[in-house]
Structure 1
Amino acid sequence: MSAPRHSTPEAFLDALYAHVPRAWVTTALVAINFLVFAATAVQADALWHIPGSLLADWGGNYAVQTREGQLWRLFTGLFLHGGLLHVALNMLALYQAGQLAERLFGPRRFTLIYVAAGLVASVASVWWRPNGLSIGASGAIFGVFGALLSHVLVTRTSLPPDTFRRLRKALVIFIGYSLIAGLVLPGIDNAAHVGGLISGVLLGAGLAVPVGDARVPRVRFAGALAVVALAAGTLWFVTPPVRPALTQSFAFNAVAAQVAEREEQLVQRYHFLADALRQGQIDDAAAVDILDRELIPAWRQLEDEVATGGQGDWRAGPLLRYLAARREALEALEMAIQTHQRRWIERSNALQARADEYLLDYRMLLAPGGDGRRHAEFRGRSRKVRMAGGGRGAYRGLLNPVGREA
């Protein structure tokens, strides 16, 4: 590059902060991610593990739905995280790398890199796991780190030698360690990481100019953008998945069988509770205690078991959606008993109906492969709970047990 070299690290930092005094895009991205996580955590009533079914409902990159035309999931999945540790580590990396990248590239070019790398990462995830659920900002963050590495290499003659060596070493170590961790640790979407990284490297090389120089070489940038778009289009339209369309595991078969048996027991337990309420054998406080201490935690435990035992198995996602809806319906029923408000009864009814739809979808997904018979013991059928009128105990005598024929 023809730009003069900054003589000292201090001079380089002065030029960096003069170029972009405040990294407001990075701050906004971190804030949005934390706000979205807080909302999902409140709905899930959990901090460390957000169920996959809820994340799919919120716009997670569930490959099956994305392939069916819900392309917006490629973007919305970038703002969803599976737990407090997940979002905290991602946002720490984004804040540290984003502060530097936004000042090197400028707010608009930084935003372009982040969004484009994130979208390519989502496409790579769908290609690699055609029946998986991908969430998290890490693909976009890898793009930021890749862009930083390209910027350091392309503009090295304008950097103080010590600054160039330290930045290059730190970036290579972080990228290498993160990729190795993705290969060793379970549950990490390395396809998204690699897709985001490569996109960031290419876009960073196309957009890199010395600090303070606003002239981006158009030909170089157009070439980088074209390569990124071609790669993403190839993954989406041309290249077949590298894994079988339906990845199934024997471990999940055992988990699903156990869940089906316990689901039937929970449905029967609910029958007893509903009968006892209708006949006045227990009061509201006892019913709430059973829901709060026994039934709701039991359904949540089923979700956790499926999420743990079904990693990598395409059937886990649809089953989790059903279990979560059933649990949320009981939570709404608990609120109805506590408050005697019609809106909670209506919400419980709606969630029960949604659970029935999810269970039907699950069975239909299994039917072509012949697995529908294996899970036919899932009971799941429900009838609506109706309010006979206002006032205390208005729901009594009108509780219709889940799973009984009308």
Structure 2
Amino acid sequence: MKDNNGKKVKVAVVGGGAAGLTAAIAARHNNAEVIILERLDRVGKKILATGNGRCNLSNTDLDIAHYHGLNPRFAYGALSRFDFYKTMEFFERLGIAWKAEDGGKVFPVSNQASSVLDVMRYELETLGVETRCAAEVKEIVPGSGGFVLRLGDGSRLKADRVIITTGGKAAPNLGSNGSGYLLARELGHSIVEPFPALVQLKLAADFLKQISGIKFIYEAEILVSSKPLACAEGEILFTDYGISGPPILALSRTAGEYLRKGENVILRLNLINYMSREELETFLRRRLKQQSHKTLAFSFVGFINKRLVSVLLKEAGIADIHKPAGQVTVAERNAIINILQDWRIAVAGTNTWQQAQVTAGGVAVRDVDQKNMASKLVPGLFLAGEVLDIDGDCGGYNLQWAWSSGYVAGVCAATS
């Protein structure tokens, strides 16, 4: 688009991640002059780390229930305008063949995140988008003639429109250091306090070193005031600080949210979720009878990971775990069943930003127009991606938010 003087609108994209690259391509496709300002030495570093290096592009189920924030329905604006099908068409045009896997997760057929970044960078170069790396934006100053951006090296840059796509605070080594919050705050925007999401949980327990490295297919649940708030199932890994694995990452957002509120958060584990309580009771009664000549602890070898046995029995309150299995009382057997299917451990916190995959919180969306990602406070300013108070579940939802919000912001910045 051209301004009233017949000149192309100049759009400055602050941040060269998933949202920023998409915004730049979309703006250039709409005839704007575009420059990307990236703080690191190259763009798209976080894209390379997504999906364990495979790039989980999206998910076939983009129900709004998979998104979170103070107003998660805000995400519907961009997600409906640049939906799953339009996103896949976008990447197909760039050269990405895609496939859907379990849980609706979408990946490039190449199984390489680098291929996604490669085709995006190729498109940017072909379109003539200027990419300036090692260019940290320190200040954005709006004025009657557009914006002046002050960079870390003291230089200044003018632009008609600015799109902030700096990400959040997760994985700072890949470029997200929270700088976008400072820029947005200086322009009058409010910030919902960020906290790590899709991250491992720390547990308040003294037995973790004993069981570090043990993996199981568990059912996990987050409880607050004995009320279940979120649950997930899959492979879970005990660590020396707490617990990890896909189900834990899925639950971490809920845990972090309530920990911030000062609530006591409990992780509930069901280690034997393939049996009902009655079936487990029958199984244990028969097993303990058959193994009556063995010690209680040894009687579980072959049923429970042997490194976990002593911990579970002590957690069940069994004073003498080496007593004969045949001497276990009904009360003790019930206590063991409770631990196996309803083991509750206090959550002490989450791991740090360095280990987090995404940021919860960010720029409050009440001051952003969901139809075009434009600031309601500063004309010509747009925001997209993780910098906003929108985060998604694990499984491609966060990248889809980046693509959708970035695309909408780029189109509207170029044409408004």
TM range (shorter): under 0.3
Query: What TM-score comes out, normalization by structure 1 length?
Result: 0.23
Structure with greater strand percent? 2
Query: What TM-score comes out, normalization by structure 2 length?
Result: 0.23
RCO greater where, 1 or 2, for CA within 8 Å and sep 6 or more? 2
Structure with greater helix percent? 1
